Structures are given as structure tokens and as C-alpha cells.
Amino acid sequence: MSYFDAASSAPLHPVARQALLASLDEGWADPSRLYREGRRARMLLDAAREAAAEAVGCRPDELGFTPSGTAAVHSGVAGALAGRRRVGRHLIVSAVEHSSVLHSAEAHEGEGGSVTRVSVDRTGRVDPAGYASRLRPDTALACLQSANHEVGTVQPVAEVAEACRAAGVPLLVDAAQSLAWGPVEGGWSLLAGSAHKWGGPAGVGLLVVRKGVRFAAQGPTDERGYGFENLPAIVAAAASLRAVRAEAAQEAVRLRELTERIRARVPRLVPDVEVVGDPERRLPGIVTFSCLYVDGETLLHELDREGFSVSSGSSCTSSTLTPSHVLKAMGVLSEGNVRVSLPWGATEEDVERFLAVLPGAVAGVREKLGAPTPSAVVQVAEEGELVVDTLGKRCPIPVIELAKVIGDVPVGGLVRVLSDDEAARLDIPAWCEMREQEYVGEEPADKGTAYLVRRLS
């Protein structure tokens, strides 16, 4: 079995396993106590904090451990907003942040605060100047991830941090995906990370608050912060971060070559594929692509049967039947979406086998969906226009039916696709972009929406 979902959770690093087992024997006592066992535990905790701070690039007394990366984000956002409440209640986030940041933003809005969501380009990257233009006198906090968790695009943190510094606004960076590869550059103010993203154990996050940043911890607090520390896990998290950093430069070169191989060959092996994310400014191990006319959930099951564990941002794999907010913000195709995130040590043989298996898996799914669907009703509305009724059908059926009939109208004619699937709002314009047809727009329709496409060729 080839595990290609390291961006969700990386396999436990051997060094983390060794440190975890060793500290179970040495670090079980209360590190706040003065007796021998407590002093030993305190020494382990302090050493872990110093090692993590060195890797992050901060002072040890600026770094604290949390029960998860999500907890670090929630605490960081809430504490920074509370600390600067006198300045204002305006929060800035990018549209492609991790859900933990976006959920914090929603909670802030629910409490009466205001939120600006900065858009991204088609590669998933924010424009630094555009981000800076959203800063206001009442902006209490700005948030920007160091790199995107779904498509791997690296964000211009240093440029945004400089704009925030000039405006006197602290910048919180969610660095969960990038910390394994190196410290985050720029003058950021707060930083969050998650150990299981770099090969440490789950249940450990870190939150850095720079000296001088106004911060007021929220919720019940005591001298222990989040309570009794999971010291063995913390020690293992710090040890694994140090270990992966020692290997990062060499491993980055190797994984970049493998992901570039996937980026280049998938479009040649599989027709009608869009590779998404920035082609240059991206993390070493992540490559994401979307396949037209494919049910994402079915494709993931097919790849699982072939021995590959991958993830997807397709609405077809979501319980809400809506596309990934990242793909939606980028305006790219969501159906048949596959994210390959290679773990450290992934082999060339595994990648080659994936490339050998993928075309057949996609073709098989397309064959299942490619036959005419009895429920898709095509009718002539007026001269030069067709109406395709796909109400009640989910992705990728609306796009499949559109592709079938586009040639039945004359050049300049319209196809009106009726759909009540939220994914169609994203996938039909993306299809037009890929197939060089004109997306005219959308109109309200009975029981759904009408999407208008003009045939250009």
C-alpha cells in the first residue's frame, strides 16, 4: 500500500517513535513539582521547547504547546483579537485558509466582529498589494497561511508581513504544512503548527506569540494553560521536527522531482485534466489535479483498490456536496479532484506505479458515467439554444451532459444547463476555461439555476 496523503497526516517519524517510548519512562511525572521525578520531567519539557523554538526561529519563552494545531489557531486568533480590542474588531483572512482559521473568523463575526476575506488568483496565491489594501485603522489581526494544504501553493508571507508591520497590525501565520521544510520568513507576529503534519504524534500543536504582541488568552485560564502536558508526545514532536529539518534540504530536492514528474505526465496520460496550484512556488511533496467527467469519490475508491491512499477536494467526496473552499476560491475544476501528497521516503517506484494505474482508473470511472443518462432531458428552447435538464443529478453529471451537447448547437449558440448542484457553479465555468468555450453566466430557474454556455468553436 502506498500512502500518498501526508498533507493530512504524516507517518510517525522513527525519531518520534524512539523519543516517545523513551520519555514514557522518564517524563511521566508532573514537571511543576520540585522532587527528582518532577525535575526530570521539567528538564525534558524545557529541552523540547528549546528545540522547537530553534526550529521555528523564536525565543523559547515565546512558544507554547497546545493539544492540537487547531487549538493553536483558535487560541492564537482569539487571544490576538482580544488583546487588540481597543484598536478595533476587524479581522483579515485569505479565502484559502485552513478551516480552523475560517471557523475562527466565523465565530468572530458571530460575536459582532467584521471579517475581510482576501481573494486569490487561479494558482491559489494572494496578491501582496491586494492583501495590504485590505488593512484598515481598525484591523486588529491579519491571518495568512505559509502554504496551502490542498494545492501546495506557497504564500508571500514576508511581503504581507512587511505591509502588516508598517500598518501596526500583527500577522498570524498557520505554518502547519511548511514547518517541516524550514522556518517561516518575514516579520510575522504569531505562528501556529501541528506535530502530526511533520511526522510527530497527533495531539500536539504549538503556538508562538512574539514579545511585544498584545495578547489576552481567552477562556478559563490557570497556571497550567491547557492543563497537564502530554510530555512524551511533546518530546516526540520536538525531536521529530529537529530530525526532519536535518533531512529537509535533500528530501525536498527528491520530492520536487517526483511531484514534477506527476505534474508533467498526468496531463499526457489522462485527457481532460487540470493540474492546479502554483507550478513553481509550492511545497515539495504536494501535487493536485482534477479530472473532467469523473466522480471524485469513485476515483478515490478505485485508487484505494489499486493500493494508493490519496485525498480529494471534490464535492463528490464531501458530505455537504459542495466543492472544497480552496478550489472554489481559485476558480478551478473541482470534479474528479485528486491530491497526492508524498511522505518522506516515498519511492520513485511507487510514483511510477501510480502513473501506470491512474489512466485505467480514470477511464473506468468515466466509462461508468459516460453512457447517456435517461434523466438528462435535452430540448430546443429556441433557435440556436439547447436546454439540458440535470436537476437532481450531482457532479460530474451536469458537465458530462454539457460536453455531450455542445456540438449540437451552432457556433455562437447557447446551451442552458439546469442544475441544483452547488458544484456546477464552479465546474461549468472551469470546463469552459479548459475547452475554450464562453461562460455567459447564470440565471435563476425553477428548482435550481440555469448556467449559460456559448459555443465558440
Using an 8 Å Cβ cutoff, are 310 and 338 in contact? yes
In terms of DSSP H, where are the helices of 306-395?
A: 325-330, 348-370
- Among residues 58, 164, 316, 395, the one annotated as catalytic is 316
Active site residue 291: no
Edge-to-edge order in the sheet of strand 273-276: 273-276, 286-291, 337-341
Helix (H) or strand (E) holding 451: strand 448-454
Q: What angle do CA 56, 60, 66 make, to 5 degrees?
A: 75
- Percentages helix, strand, coil for the chain (3-state, rounded to 5) are 40, 20, 40
At 414, list the grid cell: 447557447
Amino acid letter, 419? S
* Residue partners of 352: CB distance under 8 A and separation at least 6: none
3-state secondary structure 99-166: HHHHHHHHHHHHCCCEEEEECCCCCCCCCHHHHHCCCCCCEEEEECCCECCCCCEECCHHHHHHHHHH
Residues noted as catalytic: 316
